[in-house]
Structure 1
């Protein structure tokens, strides 16, 4: 393990032309201190977790000291926000600090959120607050624990700098780690400003650094290179959305500037996991039209991919764009079906499976059944006990007869499976988490942290890293949420 000063940097994105962004130094925070560090992310970076508690580390990541390996840079991009194109976007409160290269040659972007004003701040103060920083810190760990592709967070730091939102809050920074921070909106920027040479340069950069198989098959003179690239972005996005839908995750702000070209869950603002099953769940208090409701995510992702395809049109003909977009739905359906069949422990495909799923979702919707607890409870019941197991769901299923009827059908369906019960249940517990990051838990951790108590953040981090394990010491994190916890208002304000 190394200290920050011993890490190796290779800042390739900073070597691109000036049109890709603006060098900016982070603005200092007053009296900074460490809130939490993710030791798993430290291991990926080959960084000693103890180094995060040193004054030097804290000062570097709160703008109070420079680090030789970093070349802070505000990336320029644009994007469609709630369906409308906005040309005035970019890193308005974050900076790409540098790129760490591990001993195995893996590259990680180091990005600092809450670093202060940049040319793209749009009259904002460029700051982040402790509340939003903790939410992203925990959410990225939760998604990683669930096996869903995501950006990561190395650490949260806070300060005595006041930041003015609906109330005065503590200024904070979040150290975000990702394979890349390139968004759909990066390509839209170069397309809408007619910088087509830079558009191609960005595509080539992406291929070179993140799609080596495509790089080996083609060069920049080969139009097929960009067709392969777009098809891969479509595939990665479809699989990410299928994973979101299977675990009941709602992003909340699926603007094109919040969409990763690597299929990473990106920019955690107003997000939420389903408590009661509600297909039309809207987690963003500011989403008045429900554009980004839970059940709209698959179609919105395709809309965003279409916007990206349009931005790539100087490199691709219409047929190639349409062919890639037409692959989205089959990939999504295949991945989602695979995920949901795993949740029910089904390996064989049978005609009765579609109505079995359909009736289950109807039951869950009508009775507002807790999505996570239902599948986790189901993962502990042997097939022979299913017809009489309705009472085991009594805490969150109001009307037992419809559930009893469905459980009987499910038990009959399992008779066609060849996997032994014990193995099936083990497999189900490996895909049906006991723990998710419920909004009320995040809120409780935030309130404690604002009072100076960071213990709950680390407790949640521990559980969320392995959410399929039992964690008996923290079993209360898996309890049904209180009514007040189901109706918290989460907006874009940070």
Structure 2
């Protein structure tokens, strides 16, 4: 079963200060009229030694943004460019968030605390720098479910309601406001490298590559890869490996991120920056999450393509430091790595053993034919967990040939359905908060999701992946 995050003492590690002069701008948090603590993630607070804060201290740091001891003296809004729906935009950066602190976890890895809705920055453009409370609730649900389903995701660390009335065009207004803090291994985006390319800044590009290799350590490229000793090539291989696994994890989870712009791709490999996300109500490659994605560029079935395209933009930026051939060789690994991750994660989610590439591919292909009838992914995996309910169709016969790799006797697997966060359920949870300030349904859902994660256990990932 899934173990809790390893407890650790608080160990500040503001390593980004070494490059902050050119990758970020110092900013100040907004002053909010109210501070009501709505969510604190003590599971992950233990991992960075902050679970001992009382609620008043928690609000002081994560609602009023008083610096943590011996950490960043002032928040940093990161600078980056990016392709947004394949159109290059040099006028972006952290517009309603900042990097607040960095600490070590129990395994000596760096973890960042970053914000969303903490106020305006030099990169806010016409935005107010705020986050709706509904957006914060949605992010809690997204990150908790993704973590349970084995996706390498940022964690929602804290939500503080801030007492402002916000106007938004895509939800009923005025609506409540919040400041959210998320925990992840890093916040360096592909867009950070694109900015340095646009500036023709090879010196700082090399420094950023070195920072990422030191902060997000990973394996060296295979021995037969050209340029495997060059820092830029090593980094691209690691990002390709991580993002191939992340893309596969979304596909197996039935998750649609919605906005896979290059400024939303984290070189640590973590899924993050959740806006119009959705879970599939049924298997549909054309399903989109964002109402403004008119061409279906980031539809469910096109997510691997989108991630590879973004990795290609990182390769273009790294041409400041490396030749084309070794960078293309790194990109060419995406497809086989993605396929391996699909086999690995599909069998893990079903709770059955892997039998090898060809057999695993046959099982996935049979599954695709079977679910064309319209079943939601969460129900498919639930019904067939551990090889249960295998019929006499093609999928059933292939499933019967495999040994279970999971316990299916626990009470969760005897329920009528697993916990899910389809859009109707999200709206039900939000309505309870919006209409009656009733947070019970949210906390009940989070508890159920965490039990699902405990029963599923840790997802299999390659050695060297950041988790």
**1:357/1:202 Cα in 2 relative to 1: closer, same or farther (>3 Å)?**
closer
Following TM superposition, by how much is the alpha carbon of 1:208 offset from its aligned partner in structure 2, in angstroms? Answer: 1.6
1:73 aligned residue (76, 80, 89): 76
Q: How does 1:401-416 map to 2 (within 5 A)?
A: 407-414=392-399, 416=401
Say yes or no: does 1:358 pair with 2:358.
no
Q: Give per-residue Cα distances to partners, 1:292-340, cap 9 Å, x unaligned.
A: 0000001111111111100111111100111000000010011112322
- 1:445 corresponding residue in structure 2: 429
C-alpha distance in 2, partners of 1:293/1:323?
27
| Contact 1:35–1:158 under 8 Å retained in 2 | yes
Say yes or no: does 1:29 pair with 2:29.
no
Q: Secondary structure at the match of 1:89?
A: strand
- 1:19 corresponding residue in structure 2: 22
2:194 aligned residue (182, 185, 188): 188
Following TM superposition, by how much is the alpha carbon of 1:81 offset from its aligned partner in structure 2, in angstroms? Answer: 0.3
Q: How does 1:85-124 map to 2 (within 5 A)?
A: 85-102=88-105, 105-124=108-127
Q: Secondary structure at the match of 2:126?
A: coil
TM-score of the two chains, using structure 2 as the length reference: 0.85
Q: Give per-residue Cα distances to partners, 1:180-207, cap 9 Å, x unaligned.
A: 1111111111111212211111111111
- 1:269 corresponding residue in structure 2: 275
| Contact 1:140–1:151 under 8 Å retained in 2 | yes
Following TM superposition, by how much is the alpha carbon of 1:60 offset from its aligned partner in structure 2, in angstroms? Answer: 3.2
| Contact 1:434–1:470 under 8 Å retained in 2 | no
**1:162/1:59 Cα in 2 relative to 1: closer, same or farther (>3 Å)?**
farther
C-alpha distance in 1, partners of 2:10/2:405?
46
* Unmatched runs of 5 consecutive residues or more in structure 2: 1-8, 457-467
C-alpha distance in 2, partners of 1:7/1:342?
34
Compute the RMSD of aligned alpha carbons: 2.9
Q: Secondary structure at the match of 2:179?
A: strand
**Paired residues, what number?**
433
Q: How does 1:238-387 map to 2 (within 5 A)?
A: 238-344=244-350, 345-349=352-356, 354=361, 357-365=364-372, 367-379=373-385, 382=388, 386-387=390-391
Following TM superposition, by how much is the alpha carbon of 1:355 offset from its aligned partner in structure 2, in angstroms? Answer: 5.4
- 1:133 corresponding residue in structure 2: 136
Q: Secondary structure at the match of 1:186?
A: helix
- 1:479 corresponding residue in structure 2: none
C-alpha distance in 2, partners of 1:362/1:378?
15
TM-score of the two chains, using structure 1 as the length reference: 0.81
**1:162/1:65 Cα in 2 relative to 1: closer, same or farther (>3 Å)?**
farther
* Unmatched runs of 5 consecutive residues or more in structure 1: 1-5, 388-406, 472-494
| Contact 1:14–1:73 under 8 Å retained in 2 | no
Which structure has the larger Rg over C-alpha atoms? 1
Following TM superposition, by how much is the alpha carbon of 1:409 offset from its aligned partner in structure 2, in angstroms? Answer: 3.3
C-alpha distance in 2, partners of 1:466/1:269?
25
C-alpha distance in 1, partners of 2:357/2:26?
57
C-alpha distance in 1, partners of 2:43/2:90?
37
| Contact 2:343–2:360 under 8 Å retained in 1 | no
